[in-house]
Every structure is written in structure tokens, then in C-alpha cells.
Structure 1
């Protein structure tokens, strides 16, 4: 969804929000087909952001075919594979510093741009597309075993939702995870003022297209079912995903360890020292 909507955390009264609500409800009533087309463009189209970090020496760029089109991949290092999955409106480049660290430890770091992100094909982004992309990348790994997964933000939700056999029993490193995905999603849209009836119409179409019931998406529950070790690195004052949900997971789940950071926010945390140290503990 639009970054301005997805990352809207304000609960204060806003005249703009009220106007958005009135106009989108009216649009859906008067011209429902056009309203849904407009809503898909606004709510399901991520921002194509530029590279966040300089390209590491030795990075190997490739392509993988998926149900969502051609995905761009980026590999660094040699040895068993750690797959890295970024978040909404992100790119694989956000992982470059971490990928260099992974490669230095004798592993291959394999990142990719999700559908409709970075250099990959696609127009719309959502959890079913993210899962399809991850499955295609996992299918492409044939020469070395996949020994772990690292996700950031919405990428953590897709990693936990993915049922691919290669990652069912591997450790995970979840950075600023969105474990309460549905509450986060619907709460963000509601706070934007956008017509919930119109949003639910878009969701219904996605469910039918992908045969993927939205209510089945529950990253927290999927994490609870995992037996492999998981480390979560989450900033205490992250404005976009809830640290308290990560704390809940660590408190309730024996295999989950929470590392809390200060002053790293939602994005900078991806290359902080605590992330590097948590990876080292998982290997």
C-alpha cells in the first residue's frame, strides 16, 4: 500500500483524513469499478525506492522467474545460503552491510527485490505476492542448502507465512517484524481515513485471485509453531511496528530471543551492531 498510508501512525483528528473518508466512500458508491481500480493503485502500489547502500564488491546479480514475473536477485559470498527478504517499499540494497557480514562468516547471502519493488517485475505488492516471490527464490537455490532466513518488516510476515520445505526448520533473524500483521494493516488504513468498505472490496478480490484468505495471515501464530531458533532485533521506539508484540513473542515462546535497540528506528536497525551479533549467535 502507499507508504504514506502504511506508515501513518497518527491517531489525532485530521480534517484531511475526514475528507479522504467522505470522498472515497462517495467514489465507491457512485463508480464502484473505477473506485476499486483507483484503490488498487493507491493501496497496493509500493514506492520504487533507490538503493540505500553502496554495492559490495563481488556482488552477483541475477534473475529468478516467479508467478509474479522476473525477480532481481543479489548474492554475496560462498557456502550455505541465508535468504534475506526486505519489507514494504524497500529493496535488497538495504541488506548490503549485513550481507557483507554474512559473507565474511563463510555463507552466501542471497537477497532479492520483492514483486513490484526495486528492479523486479510487478505492479502491486501484498503478502500473497511476497510469499510467491520468496518461494521462487527458494526454489532457485539448488547448489547449497538454505540454512537460515532474515527478514525486515513486512518481509518477516512473508517469511513466517511461507510454507516452503526448505525453511521450515531453519533459524530466523527477524528485524523490526510486523507480527500483528492484520491489526497493523487494517489499523493503518483506518487511521488514513480511507473507506474501509472499499479497502475490504480490494482485499476480497485478492483473496479470490490468490485463494489466500486474509484472515489466515497470522505471523505471530506461525512463529509460535516454529521449532527452530529465532532472534528478533527491534527498536524500542519503532514507530511503524510494535516492539511490545515482539516482547510478547519472546516472553511466551521458548525459542524466541528479543534484542532491543535504542535510537535505531525502523530502518537504521537493519545494519546496527545488534543485528550482526544476533546473526553470529544463530550460526
Structure 2
């Protein structure tokens, strides 16, 4: 989330003297999604399923289901590069739009709402063979797996290891005072209905026995690469695909990344042409 400099200045002036008010204001900014119309699902879906709380799923094709879950202030369209290749390989694609992310009527959302949309999709459409999530969609997929999602494989692209780190970065980047930061955390936790420790992967990582592919760019400015390294260290069946120069969002449009993810989804090793030559840091796979 980009923080306007005027907002930072305002927080420096007012959050030390009005911590409760500024903390509440910050929580509203943090929880309000801003999806663009370009993030809409691609056409051709066989059906659109209401998941409750404003969430929907676009269902394409038939076969083992692959759930796609976008990141914050995005939408199913952000993961559209996966749709056709998965269909061509005989998978059903379920592209989920999280609550609050209708570009025609955006609203508030939070990690619990993202997680619940996955669990509701499982309840209605059945257990997914694979879940591919980006950013908050990745972190929520991991939390949902601990709550019985039962995915056969997980692909976590640019995902956080904990929501606490996300809060810390927002507070720091917004220049909130310590007291206002505490008020902000209370408001967000109350809205989500879950303590922030619930989304700390270290709490349940040992119970996640599905294979996990972590995909992260070394220069990601929104979710630091260190988050992926932390997940690699605690998820027992994980491997890390590292990219460079793609950042937090362009990574979703990278052909080589897409090919490696498809290889993982279909249980095949990455094609040699997608792996780096000696000394090259553009892409690389690191097993746990």
C-alpha cells in the first residue's frame, strides 16, 4: 500500500496528541480495498458462485480444482495468466474475488475475510487440488490450510509470514506514534475477529504437510524477501523460487515464473530452461 506523504505529515503532527482518533482513521485506510476495474475476472467462466459476505468465485472448465486468490486491492484478473495454461492441462480453475473487492462497489476487508472465502469455496465446490495465492491471498491460503482447507499443494507468491509484520510496516510507513499504532492494531483485530497471532505461520507451520512452493522477488518492496526465507525455514515440505527485478506485482506476469509454477502444480520438475545458469540470480529454486 502506497502511503501519501501528506498523510504521513498529518500523522507526525496529530497521532502523538490524538492517538485513538488517528489509530481509528488509520484502520479505516488499511481495511478499505481499492480494486481497479482492470482486476475483474476474465471472461468465459462456466458459472459464478456466491461465497457469502460479498465474495464470489468464477469457475472455468472441469477436472481437479485449482483455487486462485488475489492480493489486497486486486482481483481475479491479477492471476489471469494462470487460467488458460491450467485449463489446457486439464484443471478446473476457481478464481475467487475476496470480500470488499468488487470494483463497482469496493468496501472493507481483512485477512479473516480472505481466509473464509477459501474455506467457503471448499465447502461449496469441494477440496482443491492446488491453491495459488498472491500477497494477502497467499498468507490467507496458508492460514486456511491450517483450518481444514485440505489443498493438495500450495503456491504462495509474495506472501507474508505473519500479519504482525504487515502491521509493523504499515505503522512505520504511515509515521503513526506508538500509541496510535496500538490503537490501529486494536481496531483491525476487532474488525477481523482474530488476534494477529492467529495469522503467524510459525504457530501452525509444522502441521502443514502439503508441498508448498514459495515464490518471491528479492526486491519486493511490499512484502520483504525475508518473509519467504522465514516460511522456507518453518514449512516442512517447502521450496523457494527466487526472482529478481520483478517486485511485488510484475512477478505475476513473468513467463518463467508461470512455467515453474505450472511444473510444480503438475508435479513435474521445472524445465531446465527455466532454471538459472551458474551464477545467475534471475531465478532459482531453493529446497528446504
Cα pair distance change 1:228/1:54, threshold 3 Å: closer
CA contact (8 A) 1:77 1:109 kept: yes
Q: Distance in 2 between matches of 1:208 and 1:18?
A: 27
Structure 1: segments with no counterpart, 5+ residues? 9-13
Please, which of 18, 29, 33 is the counterpart of residue 42 of structure 1? 29
Cα pair distance change 1:95/1:211, threshold 3 Å: closer
TM-score, reference length from structure 2: 0.79
Please, which of 204, 209, 213 is the counterpart of residue 227 of structure 1? 209
| Alignment coverage as a number of residue pairs | 264
Match of 2:265 in 1: 282
Q: Distance in 2 between matches of 1:53 and 1:100?
A: 16
Cα pair distance change 1:125/1:197, threshold 3 Å: farther
Q: Distance in 1 between matches of 2:107 and 2:40?
A: 24
Q: Distance in 2 between matches of 1:54 and 1:274?
A: 21
Determine whether 1:63 maps to 2:49.
Answer: yes
Q: Distance in 2 between matches of 1:80 and 1:137?
A: 14
Q: Distance in 2 between matches of 1:217 and 1:70?
A: 22
SS at match of 2:2: helix
Determine whether 1:81 maps to 2:65.
Answer: yes
Please, which of 8, 14, 34 is the counterpart of residue 23 of structure 1? 14
What's the Cα RMSD here? Answer: 2.8
TM-score, reference length from structure 1: 0.81
Determine whether 1:102 maps to 2:86.
Answer: yes
Cα pair distance change 1:93/1:106, threshold 3 Å: same
Deviation string 1:34-65 (CA, Å, 9 cap, x unpaired) is x5653343221121222248835x22351324
